[in-house]
Chain A
Amino acid sequence: MEKTLKLSSQNLNFYYGTVQALHDISLDFYSNHVTALIGPSGCGKSTFLRCINRMNDLIPETKVDGKIIFDGQDIYAHSLDVVLLRKRIGMVFQKPNPFPKSIFENVAYGLKVNGIRDKRLISETVEESLIKSALWDEVKDRLYESALSLSGGQQQRLCIARALAVSPEILLMDEPASALDPIATQKIEDLILQLKELYTIIIVTHNMQQAARVSDFTAFFYMGKLIEMDDTETLFTRPKLKQTEDYITGRFG
């Protein structure tokens, strides 16, 4: 498959106060490919993901240096409009975080804040997004009930639908399936494979099989450093480093 560079992190360092959470991360992401980020808990996967849509800007006393180039433009450049950036780079958070609004309103939210008023377009997009995220059948009769009445797994799929509704170019998914049962997980994995026709996807997962199933590339993080990155098959069958091998075979630590 032909590869077009979509996003590229170059010598990225990130600090929470004085604690350095990411060390010199250089990593490329390609259009219409899925990249999985794996690594033990606390190694900085979420932190890295949140650098990409500048979510970490919201945490006081944090510092970034290095570059993230998105379609040829540095997302940390002063001239960049963060609001527009975040519309183009969508995110599904590690913990489900639906708004205390109706199911419909949750999915419609992104459209409305981005200036879409057409009621028919909105309800079509809401339905489409809920179908994609494998939630439609469960909620189609209760679209106007509060999203907080959904189960954890349903909430997570709602958050996926909400992110899809604004059609981002890149989709960041932080363990989107961690609260899901095997059937919903299967659906989400199918969705990811489908979505990559349109989007660039970066997914954090603790599930090696999942990474192997859905991703084209896999990057292994450890203690804030990028240890190894390769196409998924190679990384899982012939890792170059012992550290990587230990982690993926579960002989870690």
Chain B
Amino acid sequence: MQNIYFHKRRKIVEKIFFGIFRLSSAINALALFIIIYFIVGKGMQAISWTFLTEMPTDSMTKGGILPCIIGTFILSLCSIGIAFPIGVSSAIYLNEYAKSGTVLRIIRLCINNLAGVPSVVFGLFGLAFFVIWLNLGVSLISGSLTLAVLTLPVIIGATEEALKAVPHTYREASLALGATKWQTIYKVVLPTALPGILTGGILGLARAAGETAPIMFTAAVFYNPSLPSSIFSKIMALPYHIYVLATAGTEIEKTRPLQYGTALVLIVLVLGMNLIAIIYRSKLRRRMR
């Protein structure tokens, strides 16, 4: 008799917990859905061929946002181009070569703390260090470097996770065949970890593309009606453009649709870059199976 009650209760508990988990996921999905609904609903009307391909005009109340699109695109690619090799290399060093000890612990502590620093602090750091001290000025390169520092912990973290997930037995098998440590890393560990490492890159890229605070003192200007011509160009960028239109303009209400339109473009750009990387990653995964 007792057994039947136990069995019933177990089933009910199971149902309750599944329900809670399902509800949580639903809330999550709903939040994303609402965000997209609003942005698309309010921004769609601003989207036009002109909007995507032309310079802003009339104090940015008309015309397009081409320089912002190009600016954000180049900025995030440059920053990931700097941060990705450095981040992956450090993760390889930390995970594969460094012997556990005080130095390693201090380095890890630094990286973890770096991840927790608010982004506006990165902006001020970039201003003080890259813009002024290294005399790079407010420029694409200063902004890229600042964003690179910001995304480093993301990439290092993801790469380390990916390296840790590679079974130890693969390393043993390789070394037992007379491979060196580097051959083992290069030919076995990295290819196995690549999908995870790319995920880190994607996260870093998305983060870099969306940040406002780190670039507003280092790279972005509110109006520059020309496309960047060198790494020392001042640039326009989507998130900063939204910020400017929404706070600093004289016609904030009038440019609302433009703000939402810009936000929509930013989201599509980030999701698009993610999508490319995700497709590439799943191809890699399939090839390994």
Any A CB within 8 A of the CB of B98 = no
Q: Least Cβ distance of A105 to chain B in Å?
A: 9
Contact across chains for A113 and B178 when beta carbons are under 8 A apart: yes
Most buried by B among A53, A90, A101, A148: A101
> Given the known A-B contacts A100-B288, A146-B289, are A166 and B171 also in contact in the complex, defined by CB atoms under 8 Å?
no
By size class, the interface of chain A is 20 to 34
Per-position contact with B for A145-172: 1 when CB-CB < 8 Å, else 0? 0101100000000010011001000000
Any B CB within 8 A of the CB of A99 = yes
Any A CB within 8 A of the CB of B229 = no
Any B CB within 8 A of the CB of A84 = yes
Any A CB within 8 A of the CB of B259 = no
> Which residues of the partner chain B approach A95 to less than 8 Å between Cβ atoms?
169
Contact across chains for B175 and A86 when beta carbons are under 8 A apart: yes
Residue of A nearest to B173 (CB): A97
> Which residues of the partner chain B approach A109 to less than 8 Å between Cβ atoms?
174, 177, 179, 187
Any A CB within 8 A of the CB of B251 = no
> Given the known A-B contacts A109-B187, A113-B183, A146-B289, are A87 and B177 also in contact in the complex, defined by CB atoms under 8 Å?
yes
Contact across chains for A91 and B176 when beta carbons are under 8 A apart: yes
Contact across chains for B179 and A93 when beta carbons are under 8 A apart: no
Any A CB within 8 A of the CB of B188 = yes
Any A CB within 8 A of the CB of B192 = yes
Please measure, in the bound complex, the distance between the C-alpha atom of A146 and the C-alpha atom of B188, giving whole angstroms.
14
> Given the known A-B contacts A83-B180, A109-B187, A166-B177, are A148 and B289 also in contact in the complex, defined by CB atoms under 8 Å?
yes
Residue of A nearest to B100 (CB): A60
Please measure, in the bound complex, the distance between the C-alpha atom of A112 and the C-alpha atom of B174, giving whole angstroms.
11
Q: How many residues of B are counted as interface, with CB atoms below 8 angstroms from the partner's CB atoms?
A: 22
Most buried by A among B171, B176, B178, B288: B176
> Given the known A-B contacts A60-B100, A99-B188, are A110 and B171 also in contact in the complex, defined by CB atoms under 8 Å?
no
> Which residues of the partner chain A approach B171 to less than 8 Å between Cβ atoms?
58
A:26-84 near B, CB below 8 Å: 53, 55, 58, 60, 83-84
Contact across chains for A113 and B177 when beta carbons are under 8 A apart: yes
Any B CB within 8 A of the CB of A114 = yes
Please measure, in the bound complex, the distance between the C-alpha atom of A166 and the C-alpha atom of B172, giving whole angstroms.
16
Please measure, in the bound complex, the distance between the C-alpha atom of A86 and the C-alpha atom of B288, giving whole angstroms.
27
Contact across chains for B178 and A86 when beta carbons are under 8 A apart: yes
Please measure, in the bound complex, the distance between the C-alpha atom of A99 and the C-alpha atom of B169, giving whole angstroms.
9
B positions within 8 Å CB-CB of A: 100, 167-180, 183, 187-188, 191-192, 288-289
A positions within 8 Å CB-CB of B: 53, 55, 58, 60, 83-84, 86-88, 90-91, 93, 95, 97-101, 109-110, 112-114, 146, 148-149, 159, 162-163, 166
A-B contact list, 18 entries, CB within 8 Å: A53-B176, A60-B100, A83-B179, A83-B180, A86-B175, A86-B177, A90-B176, A93-B169, A97-B169, A97-B170, A97-B172, A99-B170, A100-B288, A100-B289, A113-B177, A113-B178, A113-B183, A149-B289
